[in-house]
Amino acid sequence: MLNKDIEKKLNDQLNCEFYSSYLYMSMAIHFDHYNFKGFSNWMKQQAQEELTHADKIYSYLNAQGAKIELLEIGKPKNHWESALEVFKDALNHEKHVTKNIHELTNMAIDTKDHPTNIFLQEFVTEQVEEESSLEEIIQKLKLIKDNINGLYCMDRALGARTH
């Protein structure tokens, strides 16, 4: 049995992962609109990955006998001025997710909930990777600025992402 506060916050995190997937799909649509297939591919892969995060939380809540409740998923932003702005938004969103995961981990530690603490470790590590890969792309986009050759080169590189 999970502590009620942890159960609720994990349920909220389930919703947050679905929202993340929705946001990345909106970003994929944006890039497809401008025919940047590689950027779009990267965002679609990211959207899929968020669904696997949601599924992991779902399975954990289920294994703990929690009552899972699907909440409303908000409409994501759908217009950006540049690729750089898209990735800056993605990074800000991931920082918000990291904060949630850390708060959840603190709650698990404070209540000596060892299973939830262990379950969350993978998410803690994952967030470091998420932020780091976005930072790397942002740094490159800052160097490229509006250089179209640079953008297409980056598009080709991001098109290679397969998972």
Told to check if 93 binds Mg ion by CB under 5 A, we report: no
Question: Pick from 61, 79, 60, 77: which is nearest to 69 by CA?
Answer: 61
| Closest separation in Å from C-beta 101 to Mg ion | 9
Q: Which is nearer to Mg ion, 62 or 125 (CB)?
A: 125
| Closest separation in Å from C-beta 49 to Mg ion | 7
Helix (H), strand (E) at residue 144: helix 114-144
Question: Pick from 61, 67, 77, 83: which is nearest to 134 by CA?
Answer: 83
Told to check if 53 binds Mg ion by CB under 5 A, we report: yes
| Choices 24-32, 34-42, 51-59, 107-115; region in contact with Mg ion by CB under 5 A | 51-59
Q: Which is nearer to Mg ion, 37 or 77 (CB)?
A: 77
Query: Backbone phi, then psi, for 102, in 5-degree steps?
Result: -65, -40
Q: Which is nearer to Mg ion, 9 or 53 (CB)?
A: 53
Q: Rounded to an integer, what distance in angstroms lies between the CA atom of residue 75 and that of residue 58?
A: 22
Please give the residue ranges that form the binding site for Mg ion (CB under 5 A).
50, 53
